[in-house]
Amino acid sequence: MILIKQQCPNVFVICTLKQSSNDTNRKQEVGRGLRICVNHEGFRQDDPNTVHQINELTVVSSGPYREFVSSLQSDYKEIVAKRQRPLNKDYFLDKIVNISGIDVAIDDKIAKQIERYLVKNDYIDSDDIATDKLKEDIDSKSLADFEELYEYKDVIIDLINNVLDASKIPDVDDGRKSNTNKINKKNFKKKEFLELWNRINHKAIYKVDFESQELIQKAVSAIDKELQVKTLKYIIERGA
């Protein structure tokens, strides 16, 4: 029988058991969990429609480490807001949109039409990056006629704004929730609770007494029986 050891590279939860004051070590630890996860066949789970739902990292920490993670999240949001994302066919393809109350995925044909619309109206440059004209027409609500894409007008504008508008990037927080549990004191007087409390409300004291000589003899016997000391060996090698 052949045993194959398969390692799982995915990290979804980081729980710090030691306090680290080194930001480099912290970044390495968090970075390990920020890698896009793989499935059981080793394929990256980077589908645009599910990547953010699957690849979520939770950091359980306290004190300085929590402050570090919060600062790191803010930095990431700022970087993403400044990043110029291409507005091309690949960006629109397979996006789930709502058309007349029905959720549909933008297929290859529609994605190509949207890209042609942006090129035709000088809304993207040669690198598929949004032009100033697109930003101005978005702000003034004077976009060129969508023609055959008219029923997709609103969703196209929303998808474009997701790239242009930094406010569309979701805010990040440290995931902490404040919950207040109210205690119903009447439950303390219930028969069921009192019966349970009487069964578990006991204190126990354990006392252990060792016979020193007996303990020493048994320890010596166990050592003589189980201890194995290898014979010392010396290896001398000569070379020229």
In terms of Cβ atoms closer than 10 Å to its own Cβ (0-12, 13-18, 19+), residue 183 is: exposed
SS3 string, 15-53, reads: ECCCCCCCHHHHHHHHHHHCCCCECCCCCECCCCCCHHH
In terms of Cβ atoms closer than 10 Å to its own Cβ (0-12, 13-18, 19+), residue 59 is: buried
Q: Are 123 and 87 contacting, i.e. CB atoms less than 8 angstroms apart?
A: yes
**Crossing angle for the helix pair 132-140 and 153-164, nearest 10 degrees?**
120
Nearest Cα residue to 14 out of 80, 66, 73, 64: 66
Relative to beta strand 102-105, strand 96-99 is antiparallel
For residues 119-138, b (16+ Cβ closer than 10 Å) or e, as one string? eeeebbbeebebeeebeebb
Please tell me the predicted confidence (pLDDT) of residue 116. Answer: 92
Note the pLDDT tens digit of each residue in 51-91.
777 888 888 877 777 788 788 877 877 776 667 778 889 88
The DSSP 8-state label assigned to residue 124 in this structure reads B
Note the pLDDT tens digit of each residue in 157-206.
888 888 777 655 555 554 555 455 677 888 888 889 889 888 888 887 88
pTM score, two decimals? 0.45
Please tell me the predicted confidence (pLDDT) of residue 218. Answer: 92
Q: How far is CA 24 from CA 29, 57, 59, 68, in A?
A: 9, 18, 16, 11
Which positions ≥6 away from 10 have C-beta within 8 Å? 37, 38
**In the predicted structure, residue 4 carries a pLDDT above the cut 60:** no
